[in-house]
Structure 1
Amino acid sequence: MMKKKPVISIITPVYNTSKYLIKCIQSIINQSFFEWELILVNDGSADDSLNICVKFSQEHDNIKVFSQENRGVSAARNLGMLNAVGKYLCFIDSDDWVDKDYLITFLKSTEENAMVVQDYKKILDNEIKVVEHVNGYHNIQFSLPKDLNLIIKEYRYTQGYLFNKIFERELIVNNSLVFVDSITMGEDEIFYQKYLQLIGKLKFVGADHYNYVERKNSLTTKHAKFESEFLYCLECNKFYHYILKNDSSVDNVKFFQDKFSRNFNHILRTIIYWSDYPKKERILFLKKMHYSYKDSFQFLKPDTILKKIDYFLFKAKLFRLLDSILVFKKKIINL
């Protein structure tokens, strides 16, 4: 007899989370909806995480384990998606946990070409206390791409997180959508932005069955490498262009001028303040940045005299002078 395919594939990257992993997996096993598979991807853990994963897979036929050398969460998620067979995909972090109705809540509201978004509870590390219910939208839906600008303007209500959303696997496969493993922070947000361009509706429900634990000293509090920051900003810029293509109203253009400018200023600061590149490499990055921003110059609106100088030098390709000025600013700040 052919084994029935799972409705939902849950993908959980695992990296040195043995302290929390059992609670996470057990919360999935306890779901009120049973037609799921759990894909655990061990990303080169050095603790007991792999042994825990294997033990659960031996006890449950619908739990699969895959291992890879430490390549990061994006590569782990891509491996999970490659081996998933469910109609839908969910992503659960290995140091969080879910309430028993997490999956069924998605399925009660899902429909073709739509994404369902749950609220979620944010919990402080070592404190079993809800800090906030993060979403603001409950039992409301938006049409895409028409309402996309509204969603982004109220960004705190949607978030780039994956764990409170459900995805159609066929849409992902047919559009070759993967996580960019060279982006080490914000990779989930970029994936979410690209997925929004494939669907026609975004639905918010009032349930909050995901428990997101914000831990001290977590990876999300650390700076990413400059190359990652650079690629992240460029991907966001592509998304902003997509939104403006669908709505170029004056208010919308003004809003995204600020977005483009923030990204631009962030990259400039990152080159000088967060990187340890020698001058020659910084100049090369500025040249690369100039090429990547060629379609975005019209949206760069400096709000101070110093930024106007930076923008002018950048547009004029006076990269060495710009670099010298930025380095000088850094020295003054550090005095």
Structure 2
Amino acid sequence: MPKVSVIVPVYNAENYIEDCCENLLNQSYEDYEVIFVNDGSTDNSQKKLENLASKCDKIQIITQENQGQAMARNAGIKQSKGDFLCFVDIDDGISKEMLEKMMEAQKESDADLVWCNAYIKKNGEILGTLDETYPNVDDSQKNYVLHNASPWRKCIRRFLLENHNLYFPKLRFYEDLAVVPSYGLYTNKIYYLNEPLYTYVLHEGSTMHQKSYHQKLEDIFKSIDILSNFIEHSFYKDNIKDELEYLYIDHLLHAASLRFFEFENTEIQLDKIVEIMKLKYPLWKKNKYFKQKDWKYKLICYLFYKKKRNLLGYILKR
């Protein structure tokens, strides 16, 4: 049985498959398998995957009708054999030493979950690392919950996801935010490797950079509600109240508001965010992590909350 199962969802990704395979199959670590889940691609992704699998016994292919990234990852989890799971997005990059360094850290620390820093890349240029502007705390569990809304850049024990039913919900957008921060609630030990071993690539045409409004952006409401239920029904709910409040501020009041604000006729969605914040976190401005943010971030949140959208539009255009 392999030690690590790497799960990669694939949808119309023929242009990325070869580079992704090169990254994955040239790892300095050896004890792993790669599971590509072809989620109903209509291009040449399946043929490319089959060609690569015929040359390498580390590669497995799951082929299914298009159900979205969440269901693709779930299919990979269910077929995986590794003690640890590692999720990789097909268009991102990983260093040659990523699996080796993360599993060495796991062995030395006996952690159930190991996660690393990541580069941010756009238009071929490295913009910095993902964690350099995030709030930071010494508590490993709280630090994980604050920083991890996406499944990539981590290795987690497979049985924890299976035993606690931590599968991705059937959402098209924001499915990762719904469950990934909750991983930290079920681990005995978490280890952070402050080294950028993963490269997250920003694309203008990605889900979160749509030029036309997509109703599935409203999945943010379902997603954060699922996350809240996970946390509020956990043993640690009283220990991470501030962290959950910050996730509402960061992903709902700030990020989701900015996305809705890009489109016309989204007043209902923006008003809904304000009502949720008033109901759940009326004192959000006192959150200790929010206080660490820069003035522009704070101003954006405040103006959305106060529904000063004309002023906000003027400021954002400057």
Compared with structure 1, are the counterparts of its residues 117 and 187 closer, same or farther at alpha carbon in structure 2 (3 Å cutoff)?
same
In the other structure, the counterpart of 2:22 is: 26
Cα distance in 1 for residues equivalent to 2:118 and 2:251? 28
In the other structure, the counterpart of 2:226 is: 235
Paired AA for residue 64 in structure 1:
Q
Q: 2:238 aligns with which of 227, 236, 245?
A: 245
Compared with structure 1, are the counterparts of its residues 260 and 89 closer, same or farther at alpha carbon in structure 2 (3 Å cutoff)?
same
Instruction: Answer yes or no: is the 8 Å Cα contact 1:43–1:76 preserved in 2.
Output: yes
Q: 3-state DSSP class of the match of 1:6?
A: coil
Compared with structure 1, are the counterparts of its residues 144 and 238 closer, same or farther at alpha carbon in structure 2 (3 Å cutoff)?
farther
Compared with structure 1, are the counterparts of its residues 227 and 216 closer, same or farther at alpha carbon in structure 2 (3 Å cutoff)?
closer
Paired AA for residue 174 in structure 1:
N
- 1:300 to partner: Cα distance: 3.0
Instruction: Answer yes or no: is the 8 Å Cα contact 1:143–1:202 preserved in 2.
Output: no
In the other structure, the counterpart of 2:149 is: 160
1:269-298 per-position Cα deviation (integer Å, ceiling 9, x unaligned): 999997989xxxx8xxx8xxx9xx7xx936
The answer to whether the aligner puts 1:133 opposite 2:129 as a matched pair is yes
The answer to whether the aligner puts 1:40 opposite 2:36 as a matched pair is yes
Instruction: Answer yes or no: is the 8 Å Cα contact 2:122–2:203 preserved in 1.
Output: yes
Q: 3-state DSSP class of the match of 1:123?
A: strand
Cα distance in 2 for residues equivalent to 1:141 and 1:306? 27
1:234-289 per-position Cα deviation (integer Å, ceiling 9, x unaligned): 134336646652256xxx49x93893798479999999997989xxxx8xxx8xxx
Using structure 1 for the length normalisation, give the TM-score.
0.70
The answer to whether the aligner puts 1:122 opposite 2:120 as a matched pair is yes
RMSD: 4.1
Cα distance in 1 for residues equivalent to 2:96 and 2:246? 43
Cα distance in 2 for residues equivalent to 1:166 and 1:121? 17
Compared with structure 1, are the counterparts of its residues 14 and 262 closer, same or farther at alpha carbon in structure 2 (3 Å cutoff)?
closer
Cα distance in 2 for residues equivalent to 1:261 and 1:51? 41
Gaps of 5+ in 2: 286-301, 314-318
Query: Between Structure 1 and Structure 2, how many residues are aligned?
Result: 285
1:33-90 per-position Cα deviation (integer Å, ceiling 9, x unaligned): 1111110011111111111111111111121111111111001000111100001110
Gaps of 5+ in 1: 311-328
In the other structure, the counterpart of 1:318 is: none
Cα distance in 2 for residues equivalent to 1:29 and 1:244? 40
Cα distance in 2 for residues equivalent to 1:219 and 1:238? 25
In the other structure, the counterpart of 2:291 is: none
Cα distance in 2 for residues equivalent to 1:61 and 1:48? 21
Compared with structure 1, are the counterparts of its residues 245 and 302 closer, same or farther at alpha carbon in structure 2 (3 Å cutoff)?
closer
Instruction: Answer yes or no: is the 8 Å Cα contact 1:44–1:69 preserved in 2.
Output: yes
In the other structure, the counterpart of 2:90 is: 94
Instruction: Answer yes or no: is the 8 Å Cα contact 1:257–1:300 preserved in 2.
Output: no
The answer to whether the aligner puts 1:219 opposite 2:201 as a matched pair is no
In the other structure, the counterpart of 1:201 is: 189
- 1:200 to partner: Cα distance: 2.9
Compared with structure 1, are the counterparts of its residues 260 and 31 closer, same or farther at alpha carbon in structure 2 (3 Å cutoff)?
closer
1:162-199 per-position Cα deviation (integer Å, ceiling 9, x unaligned): 221111001111112100122x2322232212211101
1:1-335 matches, within 5 Å, as 5-110=1-106, 111-125=109-123, 127=124, 129-136=125-132, 143=139, 148=142, 155=146, 158-182=147-171, 184-222=172-210, 225=216, 227-238=218-229, 241=232, 245-246=238-239, 252=242, 256=245, 259=248, 263=252, 297=279, 299-301=281-283
Instruction: Answer yes or no: is the 8 Å Cα contact 1:257–1:299 preserved in 2.
Output: no
Paired AA for residue 197 in structure 1:
L
Cα distance in 2 for residues equivalent to 1:15 and 1:298? 37
Cα distance in 1 for residues equivalent to 2:195 and 2:17? 24
Give the stretch that moved more between structures: 17-26 or 221-230. Answer: 221-230
Cα distance in 1 for residues equivalent to 2:281 and 2:20? 44
- 1:12 to partner: Cα distance: 0.4
1:125-177 per-position Cα deviation (integer Å, ceiling 9, x unaligned): 3x2x322122249xx995565xx2x555xx4xx24222211110011111121
Instruction: Answer yes or no: is the 8 Å Cα contact 1:142–1:202 preserved in 2.
Output: no
Compared with structure 1, are the counterparts of its residues 178 and 47 closer, same or farther at alpha carbon in structure 2 (3 Å cutoff)?
same
- Between structure 1 and structure 2, the one with the greater Rg is 1
Compared with structure 1, are the counterparts of its residues 246 and 159 closer, same or farther at alpha carbon in structure 2 (3 Å cutoff)?
closer
